């Protein structure tokens, strides 16, 4: 039997269930899970806030583990066969068809209608398709990445899904050398966005977030100016941004807070002719008021939404960790570790912001 | 004496006043006005809806006329001296300093703090700095463009300020060959945006506007599908857009309506990973509600504000008219012509939408 | 038996051979060929000038026909099943793996090592994989496009492979409204590049080419200025370009000539800070001399190579034909039609430039 | 009397001459020179290799000093008046007219025909317009930048003209996170390009250059792989690049060598669909052979020339030094310091490559 944590349906406690160990089809692999992330999205899943989600489901879309079994031809992006015993992670996004208008004409693969995501849009009835499980079934075609020795499993799960998402956002942000950059939000996406913004040669990186433990992490990730959203007023934050930018506001702002109210503030804190990237609004919290004259048109602003990731973002995120982890130490973001049977506590730690990053260790046992 | 129409202060009737004919300083020129446009902005000016506007002021920021007098070295962009008797237009935007952070570092010259605009931000006390006047004083440094014989004064004023503004918006829209394009609004900016979108090789151009006379103009400018905003519901327009785009919504939408409510509709009518250009929100009509999750983040949308124009937009707009006016006949947009002493009626005709385009002819006399 | 024209090996005459009618595997289709293009690339194939080409091979990479047979699930990009009797074309490029570094990280699918091209890199021993044949075998995964009634087979083959290639080049050229554009070469790629440049709202399109019949076609496709490369000197062409651009040279030039000597001339005829797209150098004719100081560095030039096409280019090319063929009439480019047993004459007509466009009609019989 | 070093005419020794101390016109300033750079361009000037250069001339286009005198309104980009005694540098490029087609329509200000450059295109007869002088006359309109206390004069001159030039090149290079980058050349431009590439978050930076002292500097500036062009063959360097890029060649290469032969090598060392920036070909060394098929068209390459700088590049370069000089220590590039009367030795040290960076100290006196 394989033990996995399951959300039975919205607003019900997570419970551990037993599943049969799967038989692999040709081209599939089985991953023995070392760590799986507890993400804000998992909180939404448990609260039933995401559209088109099947229940019951096994959460966990960022996973690091060891190849337990491989059936047939299973290769990485360099064409090299994966082998049992190798450490690996994989792209949760799969099933993208490569045949439809969105894939082939718009080249907007993150909007392919066939796209599926491990731990989010896959039902538990369809197999071990989430990371809060002793094993994950990697279907044929899932993109697997072998981890180099220089990259610890803790570092990779410390980056988790937030790092490639932040990388996608930074790609869209087009930060120039010597720009001033604001990151709204100091959760896992925001913290990695701070690190990656730092890697683009900015003059200043400003972070807005909370609570204290995350602001400390923001400092380590490279923020020059840190504003505690819980201890400052809107006016105080505006004054601080003006002060850090010679009165001009920032060249580039990146919303990674998940709070719709951040959007209006972000629009105000970007300078005229600047760029505002919105990456944190992953669930529908309803509408907000914005002023299209003062906040967009007259500002000559660029606003760029960022949805999901594709393989390239994960691939490059791992290269960045390989090269720059000495500087950022993503593994230090992990503040909480839970067993499968502590999944509800894990969700609590993330919902409250108490954890910077929490992980599930499916093979961890109570002493 | 020079006769000019003046807005004495907000919400007061326009009146004709006499001014002394100015003596030219070195590098200045005097333009005898043939036509000056009546723009929606002039309606806002009379209503006191624009910030930082000095009163009394002479409206009129798009002007065609004849060089009456030149003092010294006054050259066009090709370095050729302008001469008396030549037909010309000029860029209303002037005073851009070329020395500040916005001009030199951000290269966002439309946000230069020294920027001034004829007919909008210039006080009548400072001279004949608006087009609703027998003469306009062209200060040293104002960019003047000689009109080629192939381009009638009616064509140029028919394009007016809307054409270069639309060209700036089309530049920002990045329309690709075979794209579907939506233009919201069929006033002067919208109609020129339709024409210029047509010139980019789209598969379909859809226009939303009113009233009937403007929709007829939209057809002439090249719209394939025309939706009357006064005779259709939001749901009907959405259905029509889905129908025209195989169910996908448009690749690119351009807001040129001036109505804040159009922004929410526009965000909905663009496809995922599409582009939305906002150029019509030229005054502050207050906030609107938008949903940052469904309308920006999940859509992976690009939103681009467009503020003002610089010389390049006017220059290229005239080249476009020179080359393509046979196809679009901008002069046919002119539906109403007024004397200086009819300026209030002129504003009425624009405010009501009765006029597609109204012009002031300062030298026209009552019969 | 299926009759097909075959190049046995380099520099040998094309001959007609008989092949067994193939049995379809699941997901495959059989296309009854109406027309297949005779392209300059076919001349190179017969001369053995392309690297990595297998012989014997059936040429013909642009094909229009009728679906003769379908086995199982064969859908177009909209997810609609293809049916027998429908008119269709297909993307010659196939086999792109979607799994390798080039496909997934660089997103440079035209450089995928697994990429194959019908009629160019497929051996006759592997099946009916070229268009100079009564039937073409469409392997599973080949991207097929159903032709709408409004689009004649003659129009589509008149565009041939040159039209989507030109569309790719025009995408890379980033032509702005009112730009001056030079197209070097008036073969099928150059003529479609002229048409597509015309669709981008340029001020002027200049064409350099030969012979007379192609220059006439260039005029129909929308060139404003036409220079006969056989009747003018380099200096005369430079003078003509300076004359058409107020002495500045063109904003954008597109090399579509296939002649390496054109590259030096093109670099000279683009203005400082302009863009030069190189799309016509499809085979190795050896090196040319260029001056990196005067022709690239000091000019602050952008040079962009364009290799191959992907599905999006073909898809959008057909939308352009659907919408704009009344204006350009691509079918009029077809000047020569040949039977399978006239394939050598067909190649002669293209090599000599006598044909603007030649096509093979595999079912045409001698009277 | 003001002492300045003068190149009397091409291929003549530099000599020290005396000039009258100038009287300032309104808006001008006088800079007491602390350091002026000795650049490769100065070697070309002495050899008569640059077109349109007037002689006699005072070399020195990168200068740091102290404001000696100011006449009237002389402000920096923030609008703040410059005052005597302040440390400052300035943009050598001036006279850009802001009125011509290149300035206003193409927005290619580095190609403005009125553009002048201190120390390169200004005659000694027209004043103290070069940095190898005790004083430099800063004409009205010259863009002056006040140096913050945190930025030493040595750091600024250590960056010299190479740093803003490299910044312009890096802007054009569009390096993405995790890219592999090659810099050809380890002179002042190349060394700063290495540092700035390092600031963009690459996976690997490879440098090709010589001699040993410059390669040591390349290591300090952040190159991961260093290839000595004098001790390796072309094939060895290719092998090393393939080795450092998993056999794919680099994503982005930047030519900063000044050697035309580097262009062919650079084209070969960039991967398919990569980007090649050419910034080092500042004088005409004649043509080189390139293969347009294999090196551009089939590679689907982007090649971007980079000419000169504008104010934004210098402004941002100083911000980068302010923020990152602890990491790069540009002042350490200065290996040689000369008096005015040692100007010929200074040129020798640069021509031979013995100096990484040489500077002139006009007020230094022989002991």
Q: Which residues on D lie below 8 Å from A199 (Cβ)? A: 177, 199-201
- Quote the DSSP letter at residue C19: E
Average pLDDT, chain B: 97
b/e sequence B319-352, b meaning 16+ C-beta within 10 Å: bbbbbbbeebbbbbbbebbbbbebbeebbbbbbe
Q: C51 — contact with chain D (CB < 8 Å)?
A: no
Average of per-residue pLDDT across D187-193: 98
Residue of C nearest to B195 (CA): C201
Peptide bond into B75 cis (omega under 30): no
Q: What is the pLDDT of residue D158?
A: 98
* Contact across the interface for A292 and B288, Cβ inside 8 Å: yes
Q: What is the mean pLDDT of residues B42-54?
A: 93
A233 and D CB contact within 8 Å: no
Q: Does B101 touch chain D (CB under 8 A)?
A: yes
Would you call C107 and A312 a contact, using CB atoms and an 8 Å cutoff?
Answer: yes
Please name the member of B79, B101, B311 whose beta carbon is closest to the beta carbon of D77: B101
Q: Which chain B residues are closer than 8 Å to D79 by Cβ?
A: 100
Looking at chain C, the domain(s) classified CATH 3.40.50.720 span 163-305
Residues forming a β-bridge with A67: A31
In C24-107, alpha helices (H): 40-47, 101-104
Rounded to the nearest angstrom, the minimum Cα separation between C68 and chain B is: 27
Q: Please report all neighbours of D, defined by 3+ CB atom pairs within 8 A.
A: A, B, C
Q: What is the pLDDT of residue A110?
A: 81
Alpha-carbon distance B172 to nearest alpha carbon in chain A (angstroms)? 10
Would you tell me how many other CB atoms lie within 10 Å of the CB of residue C197? 29
Tokens of A333: 């973001």
Shortest CA distance from C166: residue in chain B:
B177
Q: In which element (H, E) is residue D16 found? A: strand D15-19
For domain D2-160+309-360, the CATH architecture is Alpha-Beta Complex (3.90)
Q: Do B273 and A106 touch (CB under 8 A)?
A: yes
Residue from B77, B102, B143 whose CB has the most chain D CBs within 10 Å, to mutate: B77
Report pLDDT for C109: 84
Across the interface, which of C200, C317, C319 has its CB nearest the CB of B200?
Answer: C200
Of B199, B203, B322, the CB nearest to C177: B199
**What pLDDT is recorded for position C366?**
85
Which residue of B lies nearest to A176 if distances are taken between CA atoms? Answer: B106
Q: Tell me the three state secondary structure of residue C294.
A: helix
Whether the CB of B79 is below 8 Å from some CB of chain D: the reply is yes
Over the stretch B247-303, which tens digit does the pLDDT of each residue have?
999 999 999 999 999 999 999 999 999 999 999 999 999 999 999 999 999 999 999
User: In terms of residues, how long is chain A?
Assistant: 367
Instruction: Work out the minimum CA distance from A70 to partner chain B, whole angstroms.
Output: 35
Cβ-nearest to D104 among B100, B107, B311: B311
The answer, for B78 touching chain D at a CB cutoff of 8 Å, is: yes
What subunits touch chain B, counting only 3 or more CB pairs under 8 A? A, C, D
Cα gap A221→A206, rounded to integer Å: 11
Average pLDDT value for chain D:
97
pLDDT of residue D366: 85
Which chain D residue is nearest to residue B314, measuring alpha carbons? D105
B201–chain C nearest CA distance, Å: 5
**How many CB atoms lie under 10 A from the CB of residue C3?**
17
Q: In this complex, is the C-beta atom of D329 within 8 Å of any C-beta atom belonging to chain C?
A: no
Burial (CB count <10 Å: 0-12, 13-18, 19+), residue A150 = exposed
- Asked if B316 reaches chain C (Cβ–Cβ under 8 Å), the answer is yes
Q: Where does chain B hold its CATH 3.90.180.10 domain(s)?
A: 2-160+309-360
In tens, the pLDDT along B122-131 reads: 999 999 999 9
Q: Which CATH homologous superfamily contains domain A2-161+309-360?
A: Medium-chain alcohol dehydrogenases, catalytic domain (3.90.180.10)
- C99 contacts in A (CB within 8 Å)? 75, 77, 143
Residue C51, pLDDT score:
83
pTM of the model: 0.97
DSSP B9-33: STTS--EEEEEPPPPPPTT-EEEEE
Across the interface, whether the CB atoms of A104 and C79 are under 8 A apart is answered no
Query: Does CATH number 3.40.50.720 belong to domain C163-305?
Result: yes
Maximum alpha-carbon separation in chain C: 63
pLDDT at D367 over 80: no
Answer for the pair A346, A340: CB distance below 8 angstroms, yes or no.
Answer: no
Average pLDDT over residues D206-235: 98
C221 touches chain B (CB under 8 A): no
Q: Which residues contact C326 (CB under 8 A, 6 or more apart)?
A: none
Q: Which segments in chain A show pLDDT lower than 70?
A: none
The set of chains that have 3 or more CB pairs under 8 A with C is: A, B, D
Q: Which residues of C touch D286 (CB under 8 A)?
A: 291
The answer to whether A27 contacts chain C (CB < 8 Å) is no
CB-nearest to C77 from A75, A105, A107 is: A105
* Cβ partners under 8 Å of residue A167, min gap 6: A192, A196, A309, A313, A316, A317, A320, D177
Q: What is the pLDDT along chain C (367 residues), one digit of tens a residue?
A: 999 999 999 999 999 999 999 999 999 999 999 999 999 999 999 999 998 899 999 999 999 999 999 999 999 999 999 999 999 999 999 999 999 999 999 998 888 999 999 999 999 999 999 999 999 999 999 999 999 999 999 999 999 999 999 999 999 999 999 999 999 999 999 999 999 999 999 999 999 999 999 999 999 999 999 999 999 999 999 999 999 999 999 999 999 999 999 999 999 999 999 999 999 999 999 999 999 999 999 999 999 999 999 999 999 999 999 999 999 999 999 999 999 999 999 999 999 999 999 999 999 998 7
pLDDT of residue B4: 98
| Contact residues for D315 (Cβ-Cβ < 8 A; gap 6+) | B104, B105, D77, D145
The answer to whether D159 and D317 have CB atoms below 8 angstroms apart is yes
Q: Do B100 and D77 touch (CB under 8 A)?
A: yes
Concatenating the DSSP letter of every residue in D135-166 gives EEEE-TT--EEEPPTTS-HHHHHHHTTHHHHH
Supply the pLDDT for residue B109. Answer: 84
pLDDT at D111 over 90: no
Contact B283 A291 (CB under 8 A): no
pLDDT at A109: 85
Please tell me if residue B291 touches chain A, with a CB cutoff of 8 Å: yes
Q: Can you tell me the distance from the alpha carbon of A252 to that of A180, in angstroms, rounded to the nearest whole number? A: 7
Report the DSSP pairing between strands D302-305 and C302-305: antiparallel
Residue A8 sits at φ, ψ, to 5 deg, of -70, -45
Close Cβ partners of D233 (under 8 Å, ≥ 6 residues apart): none
Q: Shortest CB distance from C315 goes to which of A78, A105, A312?
A: A105
- C315 to chain A, any CB pair closer than 8 A? The answer is yes
CB distance C98–A98 less than 8 Å?
yes
Is there a cis peptide before residue B211, judged by omega within 30 degrees of 0?
A: yes
The mean pLDDT value for B174-183 works out to 98
Q: Which residues of D288-307 are buried (b: 16+ CB within 10 A; e: fewer)?
A: bebbbbbbbbbbbbbbbbbb
Contact assignment for B201 to C196 by CB distance below 8 Å: yes
pLDDT value of position C191: 98
Nearest-Cα residue of chain C relative to residue D173 = C302
Task: Express each pLDDT in D296-341 by its tens digit.
Answer: 999 999 999 999 999 999 999 999 999 999 999 999 999 999 999 9
CA distance C316 to chain A (A): 8
Residue D266, phi then psi, degrees to nearest 5: -60, -45
Cis before C147 (ω within 30) = no
- Contact (CB<8Å) C320/B177: yes
Token reading at B220 = 């002439």
3-state secondary structure B207-229: EEECCHHHHHHHHHHCCCEEEEC
Element (H, E) at A164: helix A162-173
Asked if C78 has any chain A CB less than 8 Å from its own CB, the reply is yes
Which residues in chain A have Cβ-Cβ distances shorter than 8 Å to C311? 104-105
Which part of chain A has CATH 3.90.180.10? 2-161+309-360
pLDDT tops 80 at residue B205: yes
By CB atoms closer than 10 A (0-12, 13-18, 19+), residue D231 is: exposed
**Hey, are the CB atoms on A293 and B280 less than 8 Å from each other?**
no
**pLDDT reported for residue B306:** 97
User: What pLDDT is recorded for position A366?
Assistant: 85
Does D310 lie at the interface with B, CB-CB under 8 angstroms? yes
Give residue-wise pLDDT tens across range B317-334: 999 999 999 999 999 999
Cβ-Cβ contacts under 8 Å for A357 (sequence gap 6 or more): A37, A38, A158, A160, A188, A333, A334, A335, A336
Q: Does D75 touch chain B (CB under 8 A)?
A: yes
* Interchain pair D281, C290: CB under 8 A: no
CB-based contacts of B235: which residues, under 8 Å, 6+ apart? none
């Amino acid at each position: 039997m394989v033990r996995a944590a399951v959300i039975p349906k919205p607003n019900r406690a997570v419970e551990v269930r037993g599943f049969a160990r799967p038989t692999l089809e040709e081209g599939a692999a089985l991953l023995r899970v070392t760590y799986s992330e507890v993400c804000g999205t998992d909180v939404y899943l448990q609260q039933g806030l995401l559209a088109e989600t099947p229940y019951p489901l096994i959460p966990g879309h960022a996973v690091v583990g060891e190849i337990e079994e491989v059936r047939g031809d299973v290769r990485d992006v360099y064409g090299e066969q994966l082998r049992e015993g190798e450490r690996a992670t994989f792209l949760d996004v799969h099933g993208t068809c490569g045949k439809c208008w969105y894939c082939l004409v718009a080249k907007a693969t993150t909007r392919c209608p066939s796209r599926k995501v491990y731990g989010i849009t896959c039902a538990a009835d369809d197999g071990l398709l989430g990371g809060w499980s002793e094993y994950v079934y990697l279907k044929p075609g899932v993109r697997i990445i072998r981890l180099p020795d220089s990259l610890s499993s803790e570092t990779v799960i410390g980056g988790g899904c937030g790092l490639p998402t932040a990388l996608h956002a930074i790609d869209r942000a087009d930060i120039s050398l010597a720009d001033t950059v604001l990151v709204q939000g100091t959760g896992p996406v925001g913290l990695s966005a701070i690190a990656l913004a730092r890697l683009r040669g900015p003059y200043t990186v400003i972070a807005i977030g909370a609570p204290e433990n995350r602001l400390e992490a923001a400092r380590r990730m490279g923020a020059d100016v840190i504003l505690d959203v819980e201890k400052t007023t809107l006016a105080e934050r505006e004054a601080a941004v003006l002060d850090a930018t010679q009165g001009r506001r920032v060249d580039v702002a990146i919303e990674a807070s998940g709070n719709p109210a951040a959007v209006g503030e972000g629009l105000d804190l970007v300078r005229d002719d600047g760029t505002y990237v919105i990456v944190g609004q992953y669930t529908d919290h309803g509408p907000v008021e914005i002023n299209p004259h003062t906040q967009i048109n007259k500002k000559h602003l660029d606003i760029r939404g960022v949805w999901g990731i594709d393989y390239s973002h994960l691939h490059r995120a791992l290269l960045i960790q390989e090269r720059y982890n000495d500087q950022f130490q993503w593994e230090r973001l992990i503040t909480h570790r839970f067993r499968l049977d502590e999944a509800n506590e894990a969700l609590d730690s993330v919902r409250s912001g108490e954890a910077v990053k929490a992980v599930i260790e499916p093979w961890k046992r109570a002493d």
